[in-house]
Structure 1
């Protein structure tokens, strides 16, 4: 089973499913392997037709099934110093290197390797596979698959999200709210700055104010918060704008995110930014150029995973892994989306988040073995 998992992982890594590109070839590969063991496969394409979710079912078509879920997309490798081809798996010193190896093609390959065994052991409770697109850019595919499940009338009750947790059980995490803020100013010659509206300057003021809010959020954290860090975080990912030293920049863009501990923190940030833009920045910009603007686009607002007292997913995975410990993490996943449509959810998968998104990303062989062991026990449970 381990060798089969490695072989499948090598195949999956070879699909360069960066979020900006299509995932259709990888989804077709997964669909074929699942159909070969008798799985009922549904594909749901995005509006562009260049990406798709896969939702597949083994066993009876009824409510109450268990979902094994992972995202097919990976982050870019541009400007990263890899010591090997990021889209060719390399095994070295007990590690399997390649983009997506831990985030999260290692989990997906394990579930596909186990699919024939699942099929042999199926009884009364269905098992589902959910593989999504565009998790890395706002969990867009998961939101789509949630709508699709409602449309086709499938209502699973449990979901295991295989993000890299070193096979620890995660019962809760922060939300992930991502935005792009666009600034429209007025170009001109750099020697006469007062005759133009420098979008880069106003974007810089916006970022400075956002970083002030970031510090205020630290003081708003609850003393009993189990998150690390315990407060809502803010990150400015990019600031783009301008073309030359002597040109007043007419356009600028800020890409930023926050990871709210609670929805009220997100509301605090958004309301203060709105007031700052409309009461401070825009009046100054429009005094020179009436058509100046600041517009914020929502890339994604993904709710966090909320810990619950009764969680069948946690109970099942605790039995499979032999541990009752459950933790919280600061990074976001698709788990909250599945929770919001009525499922009990935990996050548990092979690999470490410390390796995700970095050059020379890897998953250890021992982590894959632990994942296979968990899924093997799940297979036996399905046969009860």
Structure 2
């Protein structure tokens, strides 16, 4: 089957993060088994989600992992020109949710299986399909932990997030947190009888703003990134139920994006400590929970991987990108990782997301070259 035909099957699976991914997982397995590949299905601790790992070539020899996530973001509130879960060809483009992020890469992985099988691979290619990437790369860590019992230690990992087929060497790490400030409700005519959580929330918003300014001024800095320092941003604020009730609860969702030399958990802890400083004098209660997290991808010390991808794609490697991927988790596990996939990241998560047949063909050409490399190694 062509990558376009497989992509149509994948786009038709509306599996979102944080819930069962049975539809797309069964579709991926069906395509693999159709080609004579028996996948390893790894159930996550949630009970209704799975990772999938499939190997072409010898399992007991170090090889290369091709990694991509099966989940897509929701289309709620977006206006599309066509059904987002039905692949639609229009004006030389293929429209549908996930076409770029990142079912296009998954379709190429699957479409190339017959060529991988015919290549006589001396070193294997492992196809890794993960879940819940869009809410903090929650699934892939379980698959990475299971790999030592399934395959020889991989030589490298290529994560197929959209990069216009340009190899990407690094990205920042991320930690998103929900901070809840709880005060005391009262009638608005008696504000002294209550404890306004929104006022405490306002102080925390200013504290987050000021911390971000200090990071920009004091660093640490890494000129490989833009901006060249870590950041902390308050993205969502929810507080109060009615104008005539003193707000009892204020929730702030904030996000840290950290350069490899910095620790997003340490920056998050500074925000939490500032919130806790409000407690003794205000009788406030403070709680927090992690929304999502993944480590930074520092540039790999394996220069051969970047050189190989540059040769296979014909593109000069890009030092860094602003978005994050599961690549940092692979690298943290001792598997050199790089990002390289079809499509442009600025199409992701938007209405009328698309990819082109030419971009799919470019990706297949890169994978074909990889198979040739692993057959002659």
* Residue correspondence of structure 1 range 1-384 to structure 2 within 5 A: 4-152=2-150, 154-221=152-219, 225-264=223-262, 266=264, 269-279=267-277, 281-286=278-283, 292-384=284-376
Could you give the per-residue CA deviations for residues 11-36 of structure 1, whole angstroms, max 9, x where no partner exists?
A: 11111122133211101111121123
Q: Which moved more, 1:314-323 or 1:65-74?
A: 314-323
Compute the displacement of 1:276 (Å): 1.5
Compute the displacement of 1:247 (Å): 1.5
Compute the displacement of 1:230 (Å): 1.5
Whether contact under 8 Å (2:221, 2:229) holds in the other structure is no
Compute the displacement of 1:264 (Å): 3.2
Q: CA RMSD in A?
A: 1.9
Could you give the per-residue CA deviations for residues 285-313 of structure 1, whole angstroms, max 9, x where no partner exists?
A: 31xxxxx4212212333111111342343
**Equivalent residue of 1:64, what SS?**
coil
**Equivalent residue of 1:189, what SS?**
coil
Task: Report the CA distance shift for 1:209/1:89 in structure 2 as closer, same or farther (over 3 A).
Answer: same
Whether contact under 8 Å (1:138, 1:300) holds in the other structure is yes
Task: Report the CA distance shift for 1:311/1:300 in structure 2 as closer, same or farther (over 3 A).
Answer: farther
Compute the displacement of 1:335 (Å): 0.2
Compute the displacement of 1:222 (Å): 5.6
Distance, in Å, in 2 between the alignment partners of 1:262 and 1:240 is 31
Unaligned runs of 5+ in 1: 287-291
Whether contact under 8 Å (1:232, 1:261) holds in the other structure is yes
Unaligned runs of 5+ in 2: none
Whether contact under 8 Å (1:188, 1:247) holds in the other structure is yes
Compute the displacement of 1:153 (Å): 5.6
Structure 2 residue aligned with 1:289:
none
Compute the displacement of 1:45 (Å): 1.6
**Equivalent residue of 1:349, what SS?**
coil
Compute the displacement of 1:157 (Å): 1.7
Compute the displacement of 1:119 (Å): 1.2
Distance, in Å, in 1 between the alignment partners of 2:83 and 2:119 is 38
Compute the displacement of 1:325 (Å): 3.0
Compute the displacement of 1:191 (Å): 1.7
Whether contact under 8 Å (2:58, 2:123) holds in the other structure is yes
Distance, in Å, in 2 between the alignment partners of 1:262 and 1:224 is 8
Whether contact under 8 Å (2:175, 2:268) holds in the other structure is no
Task: Report the CA distance shift for 1:188/1:36 in structure 2 as closer, same or farther (over 3 A).
Answer: same
Task: Report the CA distance shift for 1:148/1:125 in structure 2 as closer, same or farther (over 3 A).
Answer: same
Whether contact under 8 Å (2:84, 2:352) holds in the other structure is yes
Whether contact under 8 Å (1:159, 1:313) holds in the other structure is no
Q: TM-score, normalised by structure 2?
A: 0.93
**Equivalent residue of 1:183, what SS?**
strand
Distance, in Å, in 2 between the alignment partners of 1:161 and 1:231 is 24
Task: Report the CA distance shift for 1:223/1:176 in structure 2 as closer, same or farther (over 3 A).
Answer: closer
Compute the displacement of 1:150 (Å): 3.5
